[in-house]
Structure 1
């Protein structure tokens, strides 16, 4: 599931920005893999990716860690056998920003490389 959202820049917010409302983030969420992602309490994104084994889950964790470092936007990542769970929000505004959705779309794209038929 590759979307245009994944091609957009990750733009840092300022402390003057407000967290997105459900009406505002709805169009961004629609571009994510809804089998993976959920918005929790209108505060953060939570996604769970499935893998056939630990090695693929570990490699995916490494790839999204590299993405996080590159964009300087760091999710909470939980690795288990055959599964990677990600939680993400923008700490500066204690809520969701467009960049959270861009990062999630990029993670979906990376996951497609590991499991191209899962979307």
Structure 2
């Protein structure tokens, strides 16, 4: 349930929705990449068994699947998400694995949107059910 309020005091004390529920935010070249202390809370909301922050610059994640078909279907869903949000990761597809790199090119570093995308990909993966008939 989404609650809208114009009262700034009430809005200040309302919890922020989970990352996977948030919209991707556009950034400008005037924004700075996130520092570790700034992204620590976001990092806590994405899967530890999938994602690693590399050099405080980008996220690398690896999802595993039973076979190539399942990995390909997941890749297609991630592609749909990327197009919808206009935030495109680097994706490598192999038999039973999908490797993803996320960073904000405009900043040459991490932005909140990278973590939102990672959380949404985690949700796609968690909700994924292989097609038994394939």
| TM-score, normalising length: structure 1 | 0.93
Give the paired residue count: 114
Deviations 1:72-117 (A, max 9, x none): 00000000000000001000010000000000000000001226xx
Residues 1:23 and 2:40 are matched in the alignment: no
Equivalent position of 1:67 in the other structure:
81
Equivalent position of 1:37 in the other structure:
51
Equivalent position of 1:54 in the other structure:
68
2:118 to 99, 104, 115: 104
1:31 is paired with a residue whose SS is coil
| Pairwise CA distance, 1:44 | 0.1
d(CA) in 2 for partners of 1:20, 1:107:
20
1:46 is paired with a residue whose SS is strand
Residues 1:94 and 2:94 are matched in the alignment: no
Residues 1:81 and 2:99 are matched in the alignment: no
| TM-score, normalising length: structure 2 | 0.83
Q: RCO (CA 8 Å, sep 6+): is it higher in 1 or 2?
A: 1
Root mean square deviation, CA, Å? 1.4
Larger radius of gyration, structure 1 or 2? 2
Give unpaired runs (5+ residues) of structure 2. 1-16, 130-134
